[in-house]
Each structure stands twice: as C-alpha cells, then as structure tokens.
Structure 1
Amino acid sequence: MGDAPEGPQKSTAPTLEVLRDEVAACVRCQELATTRTQTVFGVGSRDARLCFMGEAPGADEDRQGEPFVGRAGQLLNKIIQACRMQREEVYILNVLKCRPPGNRNPNPAEAANCSGFLNRQLELIEPEYICCLGAVAAQNLLQTQTPIGRLRGRVHEYRGIKVVCTYHPAYLLRNPSAKKDAWEDMKMLMGLMGVQL
C-alpha cells in the first residue's frame, strides 16, 4: 500500500496554541512537509459562532502563514462584511494546514492525515455554524462525493454543528455570475444565525 496513512491521528491538544505547535511539527505528508514554507493553522476568534472552511492554503497563505489572504481572501472579507460581521469575529481555517504544490487539490491521504488536527480545532472552537467554501471543503467535512451545486441550498450537520456549503471565493472570482447564488447561501446562513441583512 505504500505510504497510506494508518488513519487520522486524534489530537488531544488542550488549547489552540498547543494544537498549532503540533501542526507546525507535523511531517505525516512528506511531500507537503518538504515543500511548504510554513503551516497555515487558522485565524480568528476562539469564541466564534461561525467558521469559514476552505480546502488548503495557496501561495500567499503559505508565505504569510494565514488563511485566505490573497485575492480570494479579499473577496471573503467583503462577503463577511456584507454579512455585518468582521473577519476577527469569525474563525477561518482549511482542511489542509499545508499548501499542496502548484495549488493542486488535497489528495485523500493528505486530508486524512490532517483530519485529526481539523477535528480537534473545531472541538476547541466549538462553533455553532460552519460555512464550507467549495467542493473540497464540503466533501471532506461531510464525507460525501456530492457536487457542491447539490450541497448548496440546504443545511447539513457535522457533529451537531449546522453546516452551509457555498462556492469558494476563488471560483467566484473566475465565475462572477455565481456570486448571486453564493449570496443566497449567505442569506440563508445569516437567517439561521439570526442576523438581519
């Protein structure tokens, strides 16, 4: 089987700071560990009601060590502000904590290797809501192969947390006509959260 993972390693880190150190020391995915500049853990309020989750860091994120700081991140900031929130009020993270070379999609073994970190991160933050940005994030969190177009428009659940799926901001930059659909998703999410838009 080669270097197939033995399954996700469960983290018992007592705090986000300890978990961040575990992530920074991780070398389970040899290719990612040797090509990354640094790990990209996540940012935001540790008391956030809402987490935005993408698939993996890109080049800008790998350089700065923070998720969603490039063009897609700027669009995400505008979406957050349109929802009457600030970036500092939410928590932003990715399925993978390392940039895949060439910004390729995470492979299943990489996602499995990182899932213990992701699960513990969500346990420590205890959000009420997760917004999955794009198919990779949604399919990994919800353990499904259903396309993003079919996951949108309804509320899913992950370990008691309400999950809404929408298009990734990078997709919206390439396909501006999809912004209308993404805004409908955000209005649905804000309605669940009791936020008047």
Structure 2
Amino acid sequence: RGQGVYIANVIKCRPPRNRNPEPDEIARCTPYLLRQIALLQPRLVLAMGRFAAQTLLAEGGCDSPDTLLRTPLGRLRGRVYTARLAGLALPVVVTYHPAYLLRNPADKAKAWADLCLALDTAEALPAPG
C-alpha cells in the first residue's frame, strides 16, 4: 500500500465463523471485484489463496471453473497466467494466502519465489502511461 499496491478481497464481508465462502457468495461478490479491477487498471494481479486464484483464473478464461476447483493451489502457483479481466489482459501470479503461511511456515520459501516471480513480471512490463 502506498507504493502502487491495492489489496482487494474476493468476498466483501467475512462469512460467519470465518468459514470458507460458499460458491454462491463468491458469485455474488465477483462483479464487485471485477469492477475494482476495471477502475484500478492494475499492471499485475497477485492472487493470494485458493479462492482468489480460482475466481480470477476462471473469470479470466485461464481454465474452466471445474478444472480449477480440482487443481490444488500448489499446482497453480509458480507461473504467470494471462487473464482477461475487466477488458484487460493482465498477468496473474498465484501464491499462498498469508493465513495459510502462518499455519505452514515451510511453504514460505515457495511464497517468496512467487513474490519474486511477480516482481520480475512487473519489472518486465512496459512502463505505464
């Protein structure tokens, strides 16, 4: 934040008892996320966690929603996707959710590699405006 970074959530309010969001809740909130992307026109999206990755990659046409639901997050990370979101072709990098990393510190090195991939991708993009 403050350095050209914006944080947005797929779900715009926390589900009761902090449970995982239901598919219909994600579907109701996705238009708001896509509108945020349209307004912000980011150069790159870092999808942190399973729900962010599945939603953005499915909406961006990177794979079918059914395939994404069956694919573990660990297999989605480590590469750059090109997603069509809000009329923009955006690079999307997938990584673990911070809460997951608190419970699984051994995966922090993988998340660091994902952040390095995102930075390298952003630096390779043409300069804005």
User: Fold match, TM over 0.5?
Assistant: yes
Match of 2:91 among 162, 166, 172: 162
What percentage of aligned pairs have identical amino acids? 52
Deviation at 1:173, TM superposition (A): 0.6
Matched, 1:132 2:47: yes
**C-alpha RMSD of matched pairs (Å):** 1.2
Matched, 1:172 2:101: yes
Matched, 1:151 2:76: yes
Please give the TM-score of this superposition, normalised by the length of structure 1.
0.53
Match of 1:122 among 37, 43, 49: 37
Unmatched tracts of structure 2, length 5 or more: 59-67, 125-129
- 1:45-78 per-residue CA deviation (whole Å, 9 max, x = no partner) reads xxxxxxxxxxxxxxxxxxxxxxxxxxxxxxxxxx
The code of the aligned residue for 1:130 comes to: V
Deviation at 1:115, TM superposition (A): 1.2
Deviation at 1:147, TM superposition (A): 1.4
The code of the aligned residue for 1:155 comes to: V
Q: Distance in 2 between matches of 1:93 and 1:105?
A: 17
What is residue 61 of structure 2 aligned with on the other side?
none
What is residue 184 of structure 1 aligned with on the other side?
113
- Report 1:35-74 matches (<5 A): none
Q: Distance in 2 between matches of 1:147 and 1:177?
A: 17
Q: Bigger radius of gyration, 1 or 2? A: 1
Corresponding residue pairs, total? 109
Q: Distance in 1 between matches of 2:42 and 2:28?
A: 22
